[in-house]
Structures are given as C-alpha cells and as structure tokens.
C-alpha cells in the first residue's frame, strides 16, 4: 500500500535536478566566456624609431609616372626601423600601413616585390632585418621596409603647360596589387605598425622623406 506522500517525491526531485543542471550549465558558460576573455591577444609593446633611407633616385623620362631607369641602375630606398625598447616581434607577425592624405597601402611579409623594380637582384621581399636573418626584432635590432621603385616627375604650373620643377618619389606596389602607393620627398606621410594577430597598432607616427 502506497503512502500519501509518495506522489510528491518525484516532482520535488525533478525540480532539484533541473536546478542543479541549470547551475552547472551557467558555470560552464561563465567559465568558457572567461577563458575567451583571458585568451584575447595583446599587441607587443615596443618603441621604434623611423629613418627614411634615400639610396638613389633616377628617371630618364620625367614626363610620365613610369620609372625609366638608366641601364644597370639599382637603389635600396625605403624606411629603416629600429626597436628602441620593449617587446620583440616577428616580421611575419606585423603589417606596415603607409598613408598620405587619402592614399594608403598595407604591406606584409607575404607580399612580393614586382619583377620590374629598382631593387637589386635577389631582393624579393619588402621586409628585411639588418645584420641578422632570424626575422625576430628585439631591442637594438633594425629592419628595412624597401620601396620597390622610384621616379622623378615634372611639376607643372596651374595651366599644366609650363614645367616649374620636379618631384622625386618612392613607390610601393606589391606584385599583383591593383594599386600602389607613392611617397613624395618633402611631403609628410603617416605610418602604422600593426600586430596582425590582434589587429592592434604597435606604433604609429609621421615621417618626411628627405
């Protein structure tokens, strides 16, 4: 013979089980969210200097925007960075963004120098560590961001009929890129060093090619 309280046991136990399951699920969700937050990558903290490097600029036809070099001409122009202190980082882990007014370009270690370039034979990448080949930049290390071409342009008056001067240019246009970027000498440009993993800026600033 069943007691009168037997019918109440099952609902109570069921409610308790539901509460326990709810608490466990809430704890799991909270732990998972906390784990994701803890895994958020931070950009390396480093201080870098930038020095424009003008090796040589030549152009035998200044009437167009194409580089027309003398026979045998090569030049290793670009931007020289030095890690002055802070964290180290790999060249393959960063992107360099260059900007002048509305024009900008982003270059990474994966980008290849085009076949038509003023850089010496064998230079196929834009980034190159100076004095070492491990590709990891620690305090005191330096690296170049090479410009693949250079040119000289005629500068015209407001009527576009009289040449009043010439402008020297360094340019970047990775192999396969639809558009390139031109940095004119004596013109202010901006740069950003970006950590690719976090998409955060390690450092940004300005420079003038001189």
SS3 call for 24 = helix
- Whether pLDDT at 180 is above 60: yes
Q: Return d(Cα 188, Cα 103) in angstroms, integer.
A: 12
Place of tokens 């167009």: 64
Q: What is the dihedral of CA 29, 31, 36, 41, to 10 degrees?
A: 170
pLDDT reading at 20 higher than 70: no
Residue 40 pLDDT level (bands cut at 50, 70, 90): confident
Task: Read off the pLDDT of each residue in 164-182 and give the average, rounded to a whole number.
Answer: 97
For residues 129 and 127, give the distance between their C-alpha atoms in angstroms, rounded to a whole number: 7
Looking at per-residue pLDDT, the higher value among 22 and 15 belongs to 22
DSSP 131-187: S--S-EE-TT-EEEEE-SEEEEEEEE-TTSSSEEEEEEEEEE--TT-S--EEEETTS
The mean predicted confidence, pLDDT, of the chain is 89
pLDDT at 96 over 90: yes
Query: pTM, whole model, 2 decimals?
Result: 0.80
Instruction: List, in sequence order, every residue forming a beta bridge with 168; answer none if it has no partner.
Output: 152
Parse the chain into domains and list their residue ranges: 1-40, 46-208
pLDDT, tens only, 60-87: 999 999 999 999 999 999 999 999 999 9
Parallel, antiparallel, or unpaired for β 142-146 and 78-86?
antiparallel
Higher pLDDT, 29 or 134: 134
pLDDT of residue 37: 46
């Amino acid at each position: 013979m069943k007691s009168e309280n037997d019918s109440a046991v099952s609902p109570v136990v069921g409610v308790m089980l539901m509460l326990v399951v709810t608490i466990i699920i809430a704890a799991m969700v909270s732990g998972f969210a906390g784990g994701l937050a803890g895994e958020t990558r931070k950009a390396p903290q480093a201080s870098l200097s930038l020095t424009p490097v003008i090796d040589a600029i030549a152009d035998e036809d200044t009437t167009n925007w194409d580089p027309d070099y003398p026979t045998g001409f090569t030049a290793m122009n670009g931007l020289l960075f030095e890690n002055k202190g802070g964290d180290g980082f790999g060249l393959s882990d960063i992107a360099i963004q260059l900007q002048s007014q509305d024009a900008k370009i982003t270059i990474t270690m994966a980008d290849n120098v085009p076949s038509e370039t003023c850089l010496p034979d064998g230079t196929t990448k834009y980034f190159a560590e100076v004095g070492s080949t491990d590709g990891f930049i620690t305090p005191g290390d330096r690296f170049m961001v090479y410009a693949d071409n250079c040119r000289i342009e005629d500068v015209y008056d407001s009527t576009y009929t009289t040449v009043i001067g010439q402008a020297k240019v360094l340019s970047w246009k990775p192999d396969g890129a639809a558009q390139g970027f031109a940095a004119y000498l004596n013109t202010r440009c901006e740069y950003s060093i970006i950590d690719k993993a976090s998409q955060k800026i390690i450092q940004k600033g300005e420079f003038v090619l001189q």
